[in-house]
């Protein structure tokens, strides 16, 4: 009953959207990340993005003027991980704050307090447990090339991880997924990456992933959507877990198959 009402309300929100087709096409044209999607998937992603834009509060700070196109761009990238999960996976929080460029965190924080940080390179982003997603527009804009790095996906995947508490690289898994198998394969891959970095090897996966299991999950999710072959080549079991979790298989181009 409640889900019927929710679906009806969501359909109403989508129907009332004032974003023009030209605006969508313009933003899509700047996001090569989305090129692999079918026309049907792009439509589905647009619907999710409309819901995200409606349900979340976007705020530019430090004088940053957030244009409609910027918000649409953030929403489209944020909704890619939930394309086959649904908008309810971003429940329980409201605010998306956007700084013009990398920013200085405003409080003392640690993983244990429920705050996860991302300060690699010049990018800046944070995702707070039950709190906001914070992004730097500079970081969002520089994520456009398909190089395996995507700030928006990184921070929003932390939000998925936080659905069952503090981010720890262990989001709520779907029925049929085996928790022990996820834990074993992610732990083995995480330790392998740490060992390689410690040994001074150059690694395909960004070394930031080796800082904690939460960052490992977020960084590998960036790679999963941008350069899936890179994960499959080094950690194929982790690739399969991510495909099962996101219910998408970017490598085969068969997004949405193999649902569990
Ligand atoms: Zn992070």
* All domains of the chain in start order, with CATH: 2-144 (1.10.472.150)
pLDDT of residue 257: 44
d(CA 126, ligand 1 centre) in Å:
7
Q: Which of 8-17, 110-119, 206-215 has the lowest mean pLDDT?
A: 110-119
pLDDT of residue 28: 97
Angle, to 10 degrees, between the axis of helix 236-246 and the axis of helix 213-226? 80
pLDDT of residue 259: 36
Query: How does the average pLDDT of the chain come out, rounded?
Result: 91
pLDDT of residue 258: 40
The count of residues in the chain is 260
d(CA 112, ligand 1 centre) in Å:
14
Three-class DSSP category at 165: coil
Q: Place 152 in a pLDDT band, splitting at 50, 70 and 90.
A: very high
- Per the structure block, which two tokens stand in for 63? 């004088």
Q: How far is CA 122 from the centre of its chain?
A: 19
d(CA 2, ligand 1 centre) in Å:
34
Report, as an integer, the average pLDDT of 238-254: 92
d(CA 201, ligand 1 centre) in Å:
22
d(CA 8, ligand 1 centre) in Å:
35
**Alpha helices, DSSP H, located in the chain:** 2-15, 21-29, 39-55, 68-79, 137-141, 151-161, 179-198, 213-226, 228-234, 236-246
pTM over 0.85, yes/no: yes
Ion ligand 1 residues within 5 Å by Cβ: 116, 118, 215, 218
Report, as an integer, the average pLDDT of 180-193: 98
d(CA 217, ligand 1 centre) in Å:
9
d(CA 186, ligand 1 centre) in Å:
16
Q: Give all strands of the β-sheet with 125-128 in edge-to-edge order.
A: 57-60, 95-99, 133-136, 125-128, 115-118
CB 62 within 8 A of CB 99: yes
Report, as an integer, the average pLDDT of 151-162: 97
d(CA 165, ligand 1 centre) in Å:
15
Between 143 and 118, where is the model more confident?
143
Q: Place 103 in a pLDDT band, splitting at 50, 70 and 90.
A: confident
d(CA 167, ligand 1 centre) in Å:
9
Measured from the Cβ of residue 22, the count of other Cβ atoms closer than 10 Å reads 8
């Amino acid at each position: 009953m409640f889900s019927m009402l929710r679906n009806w309300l969501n359909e109403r929100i989508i129907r009332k959207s004032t974003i023009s087709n030209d605006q969508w096409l313009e933003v899509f044209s700047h996001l090569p990340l989305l090129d692999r999607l079918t026309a049907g998937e792009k439509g589905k992603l647009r619907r999710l993005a409309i819901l995200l834009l409606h349900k979340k509060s976007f705020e530019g700070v430090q004088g940053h003027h957030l244009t409609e196109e910027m918000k649409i761009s953030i929403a489209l990238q944020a909704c890619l991980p939930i394309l086959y999960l649904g908008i309810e996976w971003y429940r329980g929080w409201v605010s998306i704050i956007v700084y013009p460029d990398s920013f200085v965190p405003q409080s003392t924080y640690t993983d244990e307090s429920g705050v996860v940080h991302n300060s690699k390179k010049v990018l800046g982003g944070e995702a707070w447990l039950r709190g906001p997603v914070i992004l730097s527009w500079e970081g969002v804009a520089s994520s456009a090339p398909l190089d395996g790095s995507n700030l928006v996906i990184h921070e929003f995947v932390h939000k998925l991880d936080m659905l069952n508490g503090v981010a720890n690289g262990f989001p709520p898994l779907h029925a049929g997924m085996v928790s022990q198998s996820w834990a074993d394969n992610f732990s083995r891959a995480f330790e392998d990456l740490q060992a390689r970095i410690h040994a001074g090897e150059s690694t395909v996966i960004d070394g930031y992933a080796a800082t904690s299991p939460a960052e490992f999950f977020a960084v590998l999710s960036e790679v999963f959507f941008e350069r899936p072959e890179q994960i499959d080549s080094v950690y194929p079991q982790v690739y399969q877990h991510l495909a099962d979790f996101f219910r998408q298989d970017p490598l085969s181009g068969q997004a949405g198959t193999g649902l569990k």
